[in-house]
Amino acid sequence: MKWVTFQRIEDAHFHVMPLDDLRGHFPHDDCWCCPSEDEETPNVMVHHAMDAREAFESGERLPS
Ligand SMILES: [Zn+2]
């Protein structure tokens, strides 16, 4: 479960994106995953993994 932080020069946001997701992410607000702004850090956009690994990390789902 690797995540990568990416910042484009022309973009004020940092993008936190899941690495090796089922589908590649673009470090942009209109990425297919509809990234959401981090609640605690306003200039951070958090992308959503297609394989739902976030649910495992947060404990919502357990590996079977
Ligand atoms: Zn994304």
How many Å lie between the centroid of ligand 1 and the Cα of residue 29? 8
What mean pLDDT do residues 36-45 have? 91
Q: For residue 54, report the phi and psi dihedrals to the nearest 5 degrees.
A: -60, -40
How many Å lie between the centroid of ligand 1 and the Cα of residue 63? 23
HSE toward the beta carbon, residue 59, CA cutoff 13 A:
0
Report pLDDT digits (tens) over 13-32: 899 999 889 999 999 889 99
How many Å lie between the centroid of ligand 1 and the Cα of residue 51? 12
Alpha-carbon span 16 to 5, nearest angstrom? 4
Alpha-carbon span 55 to 28, nearest angstrom? 23
User: Per the confidence metrics, is the pTM higher than 0.85?
Assistant: no
Dump the DSSP string for 15-33. Answer: EEEETT-SS---SSTT-TT
Q: Give the domain ranges of the chain.
A: 3-58
Q: Per-residue confidence at 59, pLDDT binned at 50, 70, 90?
A: low
Residues with CB under 5 A from ligand 1 (ion): 25, 31, 33, 47
